[in-house]
Amino acid sequence: MINCLLCNSTDNEVICKVDSKKIIRRYLNAFKTDFSYLFNESEIKLIRCNSCDLRFFIPIVSGDEHFYTVLQKTNYYYREEKQEYNIAAQIINKGASILDVGCGKGEFKKFTPECNFIGLEFSSEAIKAGKENGCCILKQSIEEHAELHSGKYDFVTAFQVLEHVPNISDFIKSCAKCVKTGGKLIIAVPSDESYLYFSTNSILNMPPHHITRWTDKALINIASIISFNFINIFHDNLDNLHIKSYFSALIERSLPLKKTSSIKLIDDSLIYKMRTKVAGILANQMLKASTHPAWHGKGQNVTAVYQKL
C-alpha cells in the first residue's frame, strides 16, 4: 500500500517504472559524478494519485548537499532571471515582509528591493554567495523556522523547491504557518502539463533531483490541505532556452515506429536515438519559422498563489 505524499490517499496507480542503474548512469554521464550511494532499491516507480493528481516517485530518493553542490557548478542551475520572479513581484506590495524558502543565492531579493527579505537555504555555498550580495539567509528548515515565526510574514515564497522535498505535506503546512492572516503563499514548480511530461531521458526531472511532479489540479488541491483560498495559477511562456526542447519532444512523439503512447522516463534504444536525431533536425527547421506565439506551448514552470483566511 502506497500513500500519496500530498493527500495521504492510497488510491493511486503506477504510470511507469525505471531501472535505478539507468538513472545513475545518466547522472554519471551528465555530471561526471557517481550518485549511486543515494539509491537503495533497484527500481523507481512513478505514481499518480487519483485523488489529488500528484505524481511522485517511489521509493523516495532525495539529493544531499554533495549532490546539489555538484549541480550548482553548472552555469544554468541558479538562473538570475525567472518568469515566476516577475509574477510574484507584481503580487507583492512594497514594504512587505517576505520569507523565501529554498532561496538559493537570494536572487529574488533583486525583484523586491523595497521589501523586508529573509531567505532559508541549506546549501553552504549558496548562502555564502547570497550573504556577499547583502541577503539575510538562514541555514534552517522551514519546519524549524515555523515553530518560532508563526504568522510573521506577509508573503512566503517557494520557487522551484517543492519538487525536491520528500516530506511535502509538512513542508507546505509549515510554509502556511508562517503566513499572516490575509497574507499569501506563492509556489512555483515545473509543470507536468508542459512538454516536460513527455520528455524522455530528462534526468533533472527524476530522482534524486525531482521527487514529485505537479499538475494544475494537484496545485489547486494544496489549498484545501492548508485551508487557504486558492487565488490563481500562472503558466510561464515558453522560454527561449527551451523552445528547441519543446519542438523536439513534440516531433518525437509524432514520428512513426513508436511502440507505445505512454511516457518512458529513460530510453536507451537505437530506435529512440534515431527518432531524437530526426526530431532534432526537424526542430531546428521549425525554430526558423516559430516566431509567432501560436507555435509555442506552455513553458516549463507554473506559479500558484494562495491566501490565508
Any domain includes 52: no
Q: Which three three-digit cell numbers place residue 71?
A: 549541480
pTM of the prediction?
0.84
Tell me what percent of the residues of the chain surpass a pLDDT of 90.
66
Asked whether residue 187 falls in the same domain as residue 112, the answer is yes
Q: What residue type is 298 in one-letter code? A: K
- The model's pLDDT over 61-75, given as tens digits with 9 standing for 90+, comes to 999 989 988 988 876
The tally of domains found in the chain comes to 2
Give per-residue burial for 160-173: e unless 16+ CB within 10 Å, then b. bbbbbbeebbebbb
- The model's pLDDT over 229-274, given as tens digits with 9 standing for 90+, comes to 999 999 987 666 666 677 777 777 777 666 555 667 888 888 778 8
Instruction: Give 297's strand partners.
Output: none
Beta-carbon neighbour count of residue 119 at 10 Å?
A: 26
Q: What is the pLDDT of residue 291?
A: 56
The set of residues, in sequence order, having a beta carbon less than 8 Å from that of 277 and lying 6+ positions away, is: none
Q: Which three three-digit cell numbers place residue 278?
A: 530526426
Q: pLDDT: is 13 or 196 the higher one?
A: 13
Any domain includes 175: yes
Separation CA 272–CA 280 (nearest Å)? 12
Instruction: Give 58's strand partners.
Output: 45
Of 188, 179, 180, the residue nearest 142 (C-alpha) = 179
Strand 55-58 with 43-49, pairing: antiparallel
- The model's pLDDT over 21-41, given as tens digits with 9 standing for 90+, comes to 999 999 999 999 999 999 999
Q: What is the pLDDT of residue 173?
A: 97
Any domain includes 283: yes
The C-alpha cell 533533472 sits at 204
Asked whether residue 150 falls in the same domain as residue 247, the answer is no
- The model's pLDDT over 71-125, given as tens digits with 9 standing for 90+, comes to 888 766 666 668 899 999 999 999 999 999 999 999 999 999 999 999 999 888 8
Q: What is the pLDDT of residue 266?
A: 84
Domain residues for the domain of 266 are 241-295
Q: What is the pLDDT of residue 196?
A: 83
Asked whether residue 132 falls in the same domain as residue 195, the answer is yes
